């Protein structure tokens, strides 16, 4: 997407895109952004001393070379987040040595991709019923575990540490490499399927190092502890660059809307921006259920427009809501979220301007909530105030 502008006189969006080098224009009454929350053309800016002097190959996961040959090579993955946890097991299949180098640890949990209960339900019940039961079973377990970790952080840490210790090789100290300074869900928990990350660490060609980089040298990385890690390839899994709407400020009648100066209505629309929604999943839990409920919410808004004969709908705050303390919609303290605070729409934690917490609350708001609270419907046959 190159540009988008809402034109009140025509009651539509004019959206300009680059389609394989060809500029195209689309006209729509309602637009929904489903591009996620990070940039595809740039990464989180970070400085790694001496990196430009490295004599091997430097790779960022967002621009992974299709012809990268790491067979038998010494690979260092810098980072401790979801990207690092994901690429390390795959690299360890062919690389000569894989070192995951982290400045600070993360919580890593494992989840099975299949379960005996799921298989039993699928074999005994019609597909739609089995799917429904499995979905809500997983939702319940996720909401329960999330709330447990958020409300009982000390006990939650103990449980997580115990699970990680059982999955790790005996020579890896969980207190050194998997004991973060933050409580569970102050930053995202990393999940690995079927313990693939922990299984990789059981291999002779895979290790984890917790230390600070002093400088990158021509043939590796020198750490502040004095240890030298040799490398042929360095993978910089150091974070994402947060942005909404592909980093473009939507125009409303020619005036740019800086999203970070506005509020999020139910986590899927921005105040003062008519007929535009965005779909995102959860940051602290599974992405897809969160995206699903946001899509359902936007569909309900569109149906309300059709029902009332309106041609536009726009989130609007009254003075009471605007006077309440602002909060960020994401409570995680990951560096790329903290640095993106000025690019995030704000929330107040009350009414339809609440920050998204969990799927159960969002489902309840969708099923029982009023699709007119905080919204101004206008145009067509009817105009309805908040």
Q: What are the DSSP calls for 281-310, one per residue? A: --SSS-HHHHHHHHHHHHHHHHHHHHHHT-
**Per the CATH hierarchy, to which homologous superfamily does domain 47-238 belong?**
FAD/NAD(P)-binding domain (3.50.50.60)
Could you tell me which residues come within 8 angstroms of residue 132 by beta carbon, excluding any fewer than 6 positions away? none
Q: Would 3-40+242-378 and 47-238 be classified into the same CATH topology? A: yes
> What is the structure's pLDDT at 332?
60
Q: Residue 239: which residues within 8 A CB-CB, separation 6 or more?
A: 43, 44, 46, 79, 81, 334, 335, 336
Query: Which three-class secondary structure state does DSSP give residue 97?
Result: strand
Residue found by looking up tokens 């536009």 in the block: 312
What is the SS3 assignment for 223-272?
A: ECCCCEEECCEEEECCCEEECCHHHCCCEECCEECCHHHCEEECCCEECC
CA dihedral 326, 330, 334, 339 (to 10 degrees): -50
| pLDDT tens-place string over residues 257-297 | 999 889 999 999 999 999 999 998 887 778 888 899 999 99
**pLDDT value for 386:** 39
Q: Are strands 213-217 and 220-223 parallel, antiparallel or unpaired?
A: antiparallel
Q: What is the DSSP string of 124-153?
A: HS-HHHHHHHHHHHHHHHHHHHHHHHHH-H
In three-state secondary structure terms, 108 is: strand
The burial class, CB within 10 Å (0-12 / 13-18 / 19+), for 368 is exposed
User: How many contiguous H segments (helices) and E segments (strands) does the chain have?
Assistant: 10, 23
Which residue has tokens 């980089």?
Answer: 213
Residue 213 half-sphere exposure toward CB, CA atoms < 13 A = 22
205 Cβ neighbours under 8 A, 6+ residues apart: 92, 95, 96, 97, 98
CA–CA dist 165, 111 (Å, integer): 15
Cβ neighbors of 189 (< 8 A, separation 6 or more) are: 106, 107, 108, 109, 149, 160, 284
Q: State pLDDT tens for residues 137-196.
A: 988 888 888 889 989 999 999 999 999 999 999 999 999 999 999 898 877 789 999 999
- Taking only the tens of pLDDT, the chain with its 386 residues reads 899 999 999 999 999 999 989 999 999 999 999 988 888 888 887 889 999 999 999 999 999 999 999 999 999 999 998 999 999 999 999 999 999 999 999 999 999 988 899 999 999 999 999 999 998 898 888 888 888 998 999 999 999 999 999 999 999 999 999 999 989 887 778 999 999 999 999 999 999 999 999 999 999 999 999 999 999 999 999 888 888 888 888 999 999 999 988 999 999 999 999 999 999 888 777 888 889 999 999 999 999 999 999 999 999 998 888 888 888 777 666 677 777 788 889 998 788 998 777 788 888 889 888 898 999 999 876 544 43
Question: 3-40+242-378 has which CATH code?
Answer: 3.50.50.60
For 298, the token pair is 């936007």
Q: Where are the domains of the chain?
A: 3-40+242-378, 47-238
pLDDT of residue 42: 83
C-alpha 1/C-alpha 245 separation (Å) is 8
Give the C-alpha separation, 247 to 291, whole Å. 19
How far, in Å, CA of 116 to CA of 128, rounded?
A: 18
Place of tokens 């009651």: 11
pTM (2 d.p.): 0.84
Name the residue among 14, 25, 34, 12 with its Cα closest to residue 312. 12
């Amino acid at each position: 997407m190159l540009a988008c502008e809402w034109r009140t006189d025509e009651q539509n969006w004019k959206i300009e895109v680059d389609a394989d080098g060809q500029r195209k224009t689309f006209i729509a009454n309602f637009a929904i952004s489903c591009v996620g929350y990070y940039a595809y053309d740039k990464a989180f800016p970070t400085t790694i001393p001496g990196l430009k002097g490295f004599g091997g190959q430097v790779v960022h996961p967002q621009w992974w070379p299709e012809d990268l040959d790491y067979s038998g090579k010494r690979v260092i993955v810098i980072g401790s987040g979801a990207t690092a946890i994901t690429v390390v097991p795959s690299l360890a299949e062919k690389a000569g040595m894989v070192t995951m180098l982290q400045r600070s640890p993360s919580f890593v949990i494992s989840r099975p991709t299949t379960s005996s209960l799921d298989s039993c339900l699928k074999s005994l019940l019609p597909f739609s019923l089995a799917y429904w039961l499995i979905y809500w079973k997983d939702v319940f377990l996720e909401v329960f575990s999330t709330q447990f970790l958020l409300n009982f952080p000390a006990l939650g840490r103990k449980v997580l540490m115990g699970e990680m210790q059982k999955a790790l090789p005996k020579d890896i100290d969980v207190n050194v490499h998997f004991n973060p300074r933050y409580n569970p869900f102050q930053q995202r928990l990393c999940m690995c399927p079927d313990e693939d990350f922990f299984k990789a660490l059981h291999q002779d060609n895979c290790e984890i190092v917790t230390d600070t980089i002093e400088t990158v040298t021509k043939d590796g990385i020198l750490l502040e502890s004095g240890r030298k890690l040799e490398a042929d390839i360095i993978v910089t899994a150091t974070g994402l660059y947060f942005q909404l709407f592909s980093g473009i400020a939507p125009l409303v009648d020619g005036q740019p809307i800086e999203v970070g100066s506005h509020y999020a209505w139910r986590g899927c629309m921005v105040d003062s921006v008519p007929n535009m929604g965005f779909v995102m999943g959860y940051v602290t839990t599974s992405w897809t259920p969160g995206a699903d409920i946001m899509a359902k919410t936007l569909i309900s808004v569109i149906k309300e427009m059709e029902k009332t004969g309106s041609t536009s709908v726009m989130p609007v705050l009254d003075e009471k809501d605007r006077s309440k303390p602002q909060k960020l919609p994401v409570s995680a303290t990951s560096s790329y979220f903290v640095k993106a605070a000025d690019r995030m729409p704000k929330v107040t934690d009350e009414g339809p301007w609440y920050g998204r917490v969990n799927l159960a609350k969002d489902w309840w708001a969708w099923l029982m909530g009023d699709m007119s609270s905080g919204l101004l419907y206008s145009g067509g046959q009817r105009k309805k105030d908040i």
